[in-house]
Amino acid sequence: MKKKVLFLIAILVVAGVFWGALSRVHPFGEKARAPMDDYYLENAQQERSVNNVVTAIVFDYRGFDTLGEAAVLFTAVCSVLALFRKGSEGK
């Protein structure tokens, strides 16, 4: 019980710290300075002839991330397959 109270206090402190940090990032919902995203929004159609800007970013501008992401999925599949493979090797 004591542990839980302590943890609650810790959570509140961490939340306070986070709130402080977040409020300094940029005002919520306002038009922040975002040159990179504006570049995507303006040029994605012209450069890559894609309507869906998110897809353009995922598969083109940051395509290498997506390759990595597919690799993570492949890794997980391989691991699960390796874990549940047939046969046993003893201890």
Partner 1 sequence: MGMYAILFERNLIKIAIGITLLEASANLFLIVLGYRTGGSIPVFTLAGEVRSMVLPTPQALTLTAIVIGLATSALLLSLIMLLYRHYGTLDVREIRRLRG
Partner 2 sequence: MNWQIHLPALVLAVPLLGAFASPVAGLGGRATRNAWMIFISVLTTAVCIMLWQKVIAGGTAVYVMGAEAWNITLPSGLSWPVRIILEVDAFSAFMAVVGSIAALAGAFFSLRFMDRFTGLEKFSALYFLLVTGMLGMQLTGDLFNFFVFLEIASVASFGLIAFWRDRPEAVEASFKYMIISTISAMFILIAVGFFYGRYNAVNIAAVARMLQMGYAEKIALVFLVVSLAMKCGAVPMHMWTPDAYAEAPAGVTCLLVAVSQASLYGLFRVCFSLYGASLGSTVVPWTIIVMGVLSMFIGVTMAVIQKEIKRLMAYHSVSQIGYILMALGVGLLALRDPQAMADYGFTAMKGGIFHIINYTMYKGLLFLTAGAVFYSAGSRNLNELGGLARVMPQTTFMFVIAAAAIAGLPPFNGFVSKLLIYQSTFAVYPLLAVAALVTSVLTLASFVKVFQTAFLGPAKKTYENVTEVPASMLLGMSLLTIVIIALTLFPGWTLSHLVEPAAKALVDQAGYISAVMGGGL
Partner 3 sequence: MNPLSVVVRTICDVFAWFMGIYGIYIIIHGHLTPGGGFQGGAVVATMAAFLLVSHGGKKLLSFAKPGFYSGIETAGLLIFITTGFLGLSATFFYNFLAGRGGLFGAVVPIGPNSGILNSAGTISVMNMAVGLEVIGGLSLILIYMFKGIRLFDDQTGGSETGHDR
Contact residues for partner 3, defined by CB under 8 A = 45-52, 54-56, 58-60, 63-64, 66-67, 69-70, 73-74, 76-77, 80-81, 83-84
- Indicate which of partner 1, partner 3, partner 2, none lies near residue 6 (CB less than 5 to 8 Å, by partner kind): none
Q: Which of 46, 83, 89, 90: binder of partner 1 (CB under 8 A)?
A: 83
Q: Which two tokens stand for residue 37?
A: 């995203």
From partner 2, partner 1, partner 3, none, which one binds at residue 5 (CB under 5 to 8 Å depending on kind)? none
d(Cα 10, Cα 17) in Å, to the nearest integer? 11
* Residues in Cβ contact with 45 at an 8 Å cutoff, skipping those fewer than 6 apart: 51
Query: Please, which residues have CB within 8 angstroms of residue 32's CB and are 6 or more apart in sequence?
Result: 26
